Structure 1
């Protein structure tokens, strides 16, 4: 019989465990204010020669444009969690291939801000003669450095498509106070420098779109658009501008492959309440021509829209700003770029409704009356490390998209509250990934994927019948593990585990074998089945023992599902 257990396990991991990603950047500095990850491109590693060549080219372009310092973040125009090689400017310039970092170039310095995951990697990959490491959370932030080191009347440049309006305003306020100008460069100066030395950036991808049928989405795109229009009407908004790639993909039930391993496509979507179909829904994509299968798919879902070239977004926003009646309101997410905000403000007569999240984000985020804040769970996840004076410098979990981004907000499991986090509700999907890292020695990351479920006295859960209340009517939520992968029991010290914890692992492995085993046998993958059967063997019968130096790490995976 299936059961849902509370898991509180102490794991002993070997020193060669695998490193993992970090789901959220907790440094609230002047850097772009979202998680920044990207797929590493295949650029040749920087050498002493090309590092200097690239910096020299960049400094020449800065001088021509009257810019004294230029910020190069890890970002694209959509505040994406992962970026395409066409936007990997920070990597090209610095050579640092890590997922997070920001470069600041002046006429004499090149500084690289990154977090603790990449301090050692910086030493190995970056030309130390020309670049200086700035340790996030230890050294001064970019904003602080600029305030303290840029002289009055100097100019700091940024590509406005790579900075959110929120991050822009924060930095601009600090610089204005010391008579330093923050300037939006009309073109990205790194791209210009690359052209100068015959090393242009890769072309922006524009791969074919893929329709996602209702059997996979559960709702037609026309229904989603109708719900959004209701929100526009209730807020008396003339236009909604969607800038996040997964927001557009989700709304239209379309997917793409413009960013490796992320089924999204470069696009913008605008909904207008002052126009009629098809001109009231405008998709900016590619050259503006959709393929016949996409046109048929949208028509089958009752969706009519106008399609314009991707590059037309800013001119369209400027024209729309001038066309809308004075006092009209345009709805933008605070994650929108400074460039988008500036285009909407062209006329100076349009109001902007800036919300923490777009309405699409909240549509994707299932809500109910019972919510647990992420930082409460963090206390459980970190407890056994805290007991011995240890911790990990990353969040414990993040939302996952439905055939969309692997990091999907607005819900996170972090060590502190996030303003945009709506809490945890039933039917959300999270990663559950505590870990521990020792620089130069090893890194540990233990990760499951879990569904949030409602737990009450009648739930199929061994702890349910012992509940004598429901937290004063608030109810309770729990995690149901939906990833089925055997844990590496070879690195466990069984003497540290309770009988309950051993039973949890044995029951979980029994479910893994019962679910995946028949599939392997049906495909005649008998060698694979034998491996799985061995990995899923009961712990005591497998005579688990530690054979290598170990680090004791405790993890909590609440209300995990097992057989």
Structure 2
């Protein structure tokens, strides 16, 4: 579907809804209440019925939470959203809080007296999240207690839950049957001595059962809970209407489809130790198990790492999807280069055109996230989403940042390119080149097994650090294979301790943002692979780039590049021309030849 750029009504968001929440808090004898972005599946992207944080505050970012007390309301956001939050919330009633620098426990200590009580919905928070807040509150006399969801109680026109049809993700794309996956993971459960594992992440469940859906916009997932038993059987708790007879037959008799309301009773009925992920499962799950004296084994969701380690079939599908997507991107960039300097485009026109080029492939299922298209100062808003109120002209002499992607039956794409519109702003050349150097450094990295994203993050930042610059987001996130564009657990960031393994696909996207002027980000996707033999042939890994779209040469200060960086960039562009050139229109190929010319 094309994106809806209509302006959502916001003038009445803050005061009446916040007042209603405070009235509900008083009725429940609570001094505070936590409103997270997450839903019961801890998803980054949520259905309209679960967009409680946006409904209350107006903030639409993909991460954050609000803590409301009787006289304060803090909206906690990380570095990606500190410009955006000030534009979206009513600052007379909501105070942006820099998180994670300011922890929720510390904020509550500063804003509530001893003896205060703060409520939270245990279906919307994980065990580890609540444990951290309680630890920070220790000795304060402030109690954090489970509560009914007060937002749901006052949200009178809350949308209905999604109920879109599910579909099979066949083995020719998955590379492994669902039966084999279940058997493999069930054997691991038996080795750990547990009777069952609780699965609450929709992408884990979809990966395990080789199904896909469209319950969440841009994410091909089915919203569900599941229990994987040590004998390989699965109880799937989802709306039965999502599964037609054909799909039920494909799933087989080892998969029992039960209504969502049966999930809690099923937890009570499990005999034997149960594996629960403290970082992803709702706290309510472990509370229900504990009520029936079920032994809980705290461990990572058993699907997460196998899902992140893409097999050869999944990697091949991702490569095919990226090749197809690159052709659409090249057609788009050639069009943009011709039209933008005329000064007649705006951000919405650019987004609409780009989606059109992807649809022209006749293979696009959906875009993989709402396109980020920031002209001039809007490009400095890291996760900017254009609407009719913010729609800005694409003016000659400015930068345009476009971060976008597609969902295809064989793969998921995510790419960012920053381009000059007409004349190049001279003040942007050095930052662009430093971002490019960081992206190249990570692309060329070679490292031993056991190295985590935190160890590699500095490679992408070092050229910016040398200039006194930095960026307030991670350098890379995991990407699903025909699944969610943001996938855990592997990341390239200062805080990621997950060792990278062959088959993991990540983004490589350093950036630089000058508020009110421009934003710069360059993003390719990379596959972790076994490095070619070298030296004493230690067991090492490297990255293979699977994004094949030219990088804006006009913004590069070639004098800042080292000989090795120049060689890498020229070789990359030669490969782009070789792989994509034969598959685009004649006009786009002429543009591509110029865009890929050696420095």
* Band of TM-score, shorter chain: 0.7 to 0.9
Counterparts of 2:88 and 2:112 in 1: how far apart (Å)? Answer: 28
Counterparts of 1:238 and 1:526 in 2: how far apart (Å)? Answer: 60
Shift of 1:45: 4.1
Aligned partner of residue 594 in structure 2, secondary structure = helix
Shift of 1:440: 2.6
2:430 counterpart of 1:469: no
Partner of 2:297: 353
Residues 481-528 of structure 1, C-alpha deviations (whole Å, 9 max, x = no match):
1111111111112222234333322221221122112222xxxx3223
Structure 2, unpaired ranges of 5+: 311-446
Q: TM-score, normalised by structure 1?
A: 0.77
2:234 counterpart of 1:281: yes
CA contact (8 A) 1:70 1:157 kept: yes
Aligned partner of residue 359 in structure 1, secondary structure = coil
Partner of 2:487: 408
Aligned partner of residue 240 in structure 1, secondary structure = strand
Partner of 2:269: 320
User: Bigger shift: 483-492 or 284-293?
Assistant: 284-293
Partner of 2:554: 490
Counterparts of 1:81 and 1:125 in 2: how far apart (Å)? Answer: 19
Higher relative CO (Cα under 8 Å, sequence separation at least 6) belongs to: 1
Select which of 46, 49, 52 maps to 1:89: 52
Counterparts of 1:220 and 1:292 in 2: how far apart (Å)? Answer: 19
Change (3 A) 1:41 1:177: farther
Counterparts of 1:100 and 1:189 in 2: how far apart (Å)? Answer: 20
CA contact (8 A) 2:574 2:596 kept: yes
CA contact (8 A) 1:46 1:94 kept: no
Counterparts of 2:186 and 2:82 in 1: how far apart (Å)? Answer: 47
Change (3 A) 1:175 1:493: closer
- Within 5 A, what are the aligned runs for 1:391-430? 391-418=470-497, 421=498, 423-430=499-506
User: Bigger shift: 213-222 or 505-514?
Assistant: 505-514
Select which of 259, 273, 289 maps to 1:344: 289
CA contact (8 A) 1:120 1:440 kept: no
Partner of 2:377: none
Residues 94-129 of structure 1, C-alpha deviations (whole Å, 9 max, x = no match):
112233321111222222111233333233222122
Residues 413-445 of structure 1, C-alpha deviations (whole Å, 9 max, x = no match):
122453xx1x12222211111112223332221
Counterparts of 1:271 and 1:258 in 2: how far apart (Å)? Answer: 22
Counterparts of 1:449 and 1:215 in 2: how far apart (Å)? Answer: 22
CA contact (8 A) 1:456 1:475 kept: no
2:26 counterpart of 1:63: yes
Partner of 1:309: 259
Shift of 1:379: 2.3
CA RMSD in angstroms comes to 2.4
Counterparts of 1:289 and 1:392 in 2: how far apart (Å)? Answer: 42
Counterparts of 1:375 and 1:480 in 2: how far apart (Å)? Answer: 19
Counterparts of 2:26 and 2:4 in 1: how far apart (Å)? Answer: 30
Partner of 1:205: 162
Select which of 216, 222, 237 maps to 1:259: 216
Counterparts of 2:5 and 2:129 in 1: how far apart (Å)? Answer: 26
Indicate the structure (1 or 2) with the bigger Cα radius of gyration.
1
CA contact (8 A) 1:373 1:424 kept: yes
2:387 counterpart of 1:387: no
2:594 counterpart of 1:534: yes
Partner of 1:177: 139
Partner of 1:518: 582
Aligned partner of residue 425 in structure 1, secondary structure = coil
2:521 counterpart of 1:445: yes
User: Bigger shift: 499-508 or 332-341?
Assistant: 499-508
Change (3 A) 1:290 1:366: closer
Select which of 155, 159, 175 maps to 1:218: 175
Change (3 A) 1:416 1:55: closer
**Count of equivalent residues:** 460
Change (3 A) 1:168 1:484: same
Counterparts of 2:89 and 2:448 in 1: how far apart (Å)? Answer: 49
Change (3 A) 1:490 1:173: same
Aligned partner of residue 160 in structure 1, secondary structure = coil
Select which of 351, 358, 362 maps to 2:305: 362
2:80 counterpart of 1:117: yes
Counterparts of 1:509 and 1:129 in 2: how far apart (Å)? Answer: 50
Q: TM-score, normalised by structure 2?
A: 0.73
Aligned partner of residue 474 in structure 2, secondary structure = coil
Structure 1, unpaired ranges of 5+: 1-38, 458-466, 540-563
Partner of 2:401: none
Partner of 2:455: 376
Aligned partner of residue 403 in structure 1, secondary structure = coil
Select which of 509, 513, 531 maps to 2:573: 509
